């Protein structure tokens, strides 16, 4: 899999915190977690690397051929709509594996969906902004004035 992918921003936000990727899909309020190899794959995609480049980096650093596991994890990210294919050029330099992401890495890499906070995430007022961003609220089309009905 040498195709390039990108994070489905601005609807999808993600950050690696203490070796774990935390990813939030603002469209549906789901958040996801992935540690170890999953966090590493998320990090590499965010930096513009392909599955092939990720697999090559893991082979060089860990001595493990993880082509299938990398491809399956990327398929899970695609299925959840967290990443999307893109035509951007691949980085010329190889992916530099962050050793802290490998400290507790287990196989296969897992993407875990959490839905327990979706109502709270969807309540966040960030959903009520237009392209100008926060703190500018979306302007709603004015509703046609309707006289009050009295009986």
Class of domain 4-128 (CATH, top level): alpha beta
Predicted local distance difference test score (pLDDT) of residue 22: 95
CA–CA dist 23, 46 (Å, integer): 12
Q: How far, rounded to the nearest angstrom, does the alpha carbon of residue 2 sit from its chain's CA centroid?
A: 19
Predicted pLDDT at 115: 87
Instruction: For strands 30-35 and 20-25, give the pairing.
Output: antiparallel
pLDDT on residue 144: 46
**Along the 151 residues of the chain, how does pLDDT read in single tens digits?**
568 899 999 999 999 999 999 999 988 989 999 988 999 999 999 999 999 999 999 999 999 899 999 999 999 999 999 999 998 888 889 999 988 888 878 889 999 999 888 777 777 655 555 666 554 555 655 444 444 444 4
pLDDT of residue 14: 94
d(CA 42, CA 102): 13
| Positive or negative: CA dihedral 97, 100, 101, 102 | positive
Residue extents of the structural domains in the chain:
4-128
Q: Distance (Å, rounded) from C-alpha 141 to C-alpha 151?
A: 29
Distances in whole angstroms, Cα of residue 108 to Cα of each of 21, 41, 57, 79, 105: 15, 12, 17, 17, 9
* Sheet with 20-25, edge to edge strand ranges: 12-17, 20-25, 30-35, 112-114
């Amino acid at each position: 899999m040498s195709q390039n992918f990108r994070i489905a921003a601005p609807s999808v936000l993600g950050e690696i915190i203490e070796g774990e990727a935390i990813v939030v899909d603002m469209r549906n309020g789901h958040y996801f977690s992935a540690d170890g190899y999953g966090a590493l794959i998320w990090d590499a995609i965010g930096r513009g690397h392909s599955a092939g480049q990720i697999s090559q980096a893991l082979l060089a650093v860990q001595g493990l051929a993880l082509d299938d596991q990398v491809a399956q994890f990327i398929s899970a990210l695609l299925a959840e709509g967290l990443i999307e294919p893109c035509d951007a050029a691949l980085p010329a330099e190889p992916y530099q594996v962050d050793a802290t992401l490998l400290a507790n890495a287990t196989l296969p890499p897992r993407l875990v969906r959490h839905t327990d906070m979706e109502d709270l995430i969807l309540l966040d007022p960030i959903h009520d902004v237009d392209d100008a961003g926060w703190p500018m609220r979306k302007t709603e089309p004015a509703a046609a004035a309707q006289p009050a009905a009295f009986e």
